[in-house]
Amino acid sequence: MNTAKALRLKNKINWTSNQFLFHPRRNQTPIHDLNALTALEHYMQKSLSDITIKHTPKKVVFQQYYYANTIPTQRRGLEEIDNGSAKEETNKDIFNPIALDKLKERLSKLYNKDVEFNLIKQHYPYLNSKILAQYIALNASRYRFRQIRRSLFKKIPLVGGNQQQNDLNATSALKWIQLSRLGQQILPTHLSGVKIQISGRMSLRKGSARTSVINKSIGSFRFHSLENTMIDYAKVERKNQNGAYCVKVWLSSSVVT
């Protein structure tokens, strides 16, 4: 059981590029991909998922999920977080078609073929582990982890979890099974558990302990049934005025059959 748990969480293969290498010795596509990813990370500077690159003989497609950073609505504490993406002016500038056209032009010269962006907006940070980890790391430098956890756990609609912790009129398991039979528009999975771990110098107080680890979770993780469970894992490292800290996120999704 412990072996299966470790393999499920740690051994993860990421397929982030789909390319055709007809001449591996002459092809410079992997080097161009690294340069393009570095340029996109510096350009976006937002809560983004891992970029998936698809190569065809005449075009390069960059697909990525993004989330508009939220703004706290209260001065003291993080009791509620406003999901007002319209208040973030920087997001509008970054995803402006004119600005993206300039970026496409530069990348087209790099690859010597057309470049296309497929940017998909996520309305909630907990739909992707990388986005959620970046979201927590961004707020950890300004708020205490207890405040961030309380705000997140109030809004995450888990299926099959504790009803007292998830009093959000979440869709029941039976309703998910009924919806899954309607067609392909309904996703065949639902979020059943979230685990967050923060380690390092994440305290806002100077002179605090050099290293500390905080683990919090909500919902259920079914490690014994690997066939019907998917684990989405991500890790983000950041620095604050006291040192470095690391945020790890596990999202457990159960397959509806």
Name all domains of the chain by residue range, CATH numbers in brackets: 12-123 (3.30.300.20), 144-257 (3.30.1140)
Sequence-separated (6 or more) residues with CB below 8 Å from residue 99:
93
- Reported as half-sphere exposure (CB side, CA atoms, 13 A), residue 38 has a value of 6
Report the C-alpha gap between 8 and 85 in whole angstroms. 34
pTM for the model: 0.65
Nearest one of 221, 217, 218 to 253, comparing CA atoms: 221
Q: Could you tell me where the DSSP H helices lie in the chain?
A: 2-10, 29-44, 89-94, 97-111, 129-140, 145-155, 173-180
Tens-of-pLDDT digits for all 257 residues of the chain?
443 333 333 334 344 555 555 555 556 677 888 888 887 777 776 667 778 888 888 888 888 888 865 433 343 333 333 333 333 344 445 566 777 888 888 889 888 889 988 888 888 888 888 888 988 888 877 778 888 888 888 877 776 544 333 333 333 333 434 444 444 444 446 778 888 988 887 665 665 556 778 888 888 776 555 556 677 888 988 887 777 888 999 888 876 55
